[in-house]
Structure 1
Amino acid sequence: MNAWRKAVVAGSAAAAAGLTAGAAAFAASVQFARSTVRVAERSERSVRVLRVVRGEVTRVWLAGEGVDALGRQSLLFETPDDLANVLSGREPSGHARLGPVVARSGISVLREVERVDRGTLEAGAEGRMVGWWYTRPEELGYRVERTSFESEIGELDAWIVRPRWPRKRRWAVHVHGRGARPEETFRGIAPLARAGVTSLIINYRNDEQQPPGHGSRYGLGISESRDVDAAVGRALDLGAERVTLVGWSMGGTASLLAAADGVNRHHIDGIILDSPGIDWPEILRWHTRLKRAPLWIANVGMRMLRAGLVSSGEEGGIDVQSLRPEHFASRLSVPTLVLASPDDRYVPWAGARELAGLCPEHVQLVTISGARHVRLWNVDPERWEQAVLDFAAALPRPGWRGQ
């Protein structure tokens, strides 16, 4: 949440510049609210490649944010001579798949390089660690088609991934998280394909090369849920009768809202959530606490978003207080699998636990310890995929649940 850190710094700077306490508080809250819904213009390069050790097995020494994460991880990187993406604000073009940490030295770690998909990995390269593992859905070995679907903000791009032995008229819609890319969701395709489910992996508003939302800002899952609902409609047009939603982080928020409010909600047979945003007020307060900033910055910022005093992805403002477990629990009517980690420091798992406690008849909670945000698959892919496969294979048709 680097943008939120900058918001706190901006508020402190305003106070230091001699503004009154009230003006400083207002400035800090405005900056915080804006950073909550602003679409990042530039991806930060927080990892540096210190040395590449080539041999029978190639290994790489790294330093920076997230290099010590458990399990298999990906490195997006640029070489020192490739400045095009850095200057344009686009993601690094290189991609390397890294194994678990095998050695440490001070603040640096050594990881095995399992594969370099794009670019040449060399000392001096800078980039960032991500949890997604596959760069293209074709890498999973299934038949892939490019498609698009129409949403209220225009045409959005998507992929269709067809299983080898499809179950009749069963589809899933995969929804990535805030500031992420569809590649994040590719890890969830294989277990659904093994269950015979055809997958539709979507882009939504404000994604790269996609139409912007209102003000080119996020709606914390509210605006994005209408794109998810439109994607469900596209799956129905392509022959689906029932659709499972698979949401990651803020994509989980959007999936829960689409299942509750969407025009096509009656065709949704279940929801699968990884590290979902279920308690947004607490998420925002959590990041305020991490920066050791006063909670009033988050509280006033949320009120500004609700009143529309700070522009967001929703023209009439965002009621952040409605994005709480109690709200989702009161409207949840389909089986829901939640995968969460007690070690998630980006979206605390308390919201997932509370939802499971409020809706034991609908929610199955699976925990994987040691995993960072949306990195559960990376820490234990076998358990993650088995849980998803078992859940998807057992889903009843909508309307067959005795309700």
Structure 2
Amino acid sequence: MCVLHCFPSSFLCLTEILEGPVWVPKSKRVTLTDFLAAQQQSETQTVTDEALDAANTKVNRLKWMLEHTMGAQGDFERRRVELQSRQATTSNEEKEVADEAVLASYLSSVQEGGVLREYLLHGSLAFVAHQTLFVHGGIIDGTADSSLSALGRVPDEPTRRFDSVSEWVDSLNTWYRREVQAWLQQPTWNADHTSRGGNELLKYVLPDYSGSVVMGRHLLSSGMPTPLPAEIARLLTESGIRRVIVGHTPHGNCPTVIKQPQVSGSDDGDDVIEAFQDVIMCDTSYSDPRASGNRGGAASEVVVEPSGHVHVNGVLEDGRHIAYDIPGDEWVGRTLRDGTMVKARLADEASEEERQYLVFRVDNGYSYTYHYRTLTQLLEIGAQD
């Protein structure tokens, strides 16, 4: 990480090169030097400058990056297993895959024709289809002021106002592609470490970046969902957007729907036609923290029809099935008066009154509590809206 300090009065610029990810608190940050030193201490009792220099290899740098800058703990070994599996498929024998081969697979992925490079070239930061806006993380940051929303913000056009969501999406993706091309042309720092291609895009995905569709979160600090500010919902409605679908932030054992409170659209009390309806959070990568890999047997699909209607089907970690339509089901996505929220409708055969729902509550950001409730019980508890 490079931090540039400039002093206009003396026209002096000093570049401070920091080791480690700046988004990790300094007390928890593991620098490359720390990582290499710990590695040497596990192999020998003494750590010398010469030993650190010898250990400062591309393989060890990659291991450090995955473990301590990308949140990808264990991925180096998982890639080794993947390469072994591919090798066995093509040659009917499973040879040991060396560290250098794992490194080569990562390097080749960003070279011309590489899978990650192709993904970046064909990717987008935002996408609109079937009255739905798709983004990686979200368009708000919890309860932050709506003026800080990612909606309508493009990094190199901070004062521009867009006439529609589609126009904003096009501009945001155009900026993204310029940044990717800049990275391809200059992937490394210049001589004085003041610039490199695509650096603004790298900043855009940092946790402290305000107004990023990658780092947006539709959650309170407790971990419970929060609807959009009314002004943001209005702007989406005016552009014909009925819902936002996001990932990035893991949230329980199946998709989380956040119903948007509806407002009167006219003096006679008629509801707004085709008003913005909901946000759907689809990251379930911690659906079963007790299982190996944190997912267990839970899996869900979210199908968006051209009409804008959504079908959700899946299986929970305990084997029970869920199935419901949006906006067909009137309970999924609503907050109840006891502070819990309705997460899904079960696919179990039952009478209308006894049909079952999964409700949940999150405390301290990560602690989930689940209960099954019948429709009769939901009616007794009541919804907040």
Structure with the larger strand share: 1
Bigger Cα Rg: 2
Structure with the larger helix share: 1
- Confirm or deny a common fold (TM above 0.5): no
**TM-score in terms of structure 1 length:** 0.27
Q: Which protein, 1 or 2, shows the higher relative CO under an 8 Å CA cutoff with sep ≥ 6?
A: 1
**TM-score in terms of structure 2 length:** 0.28
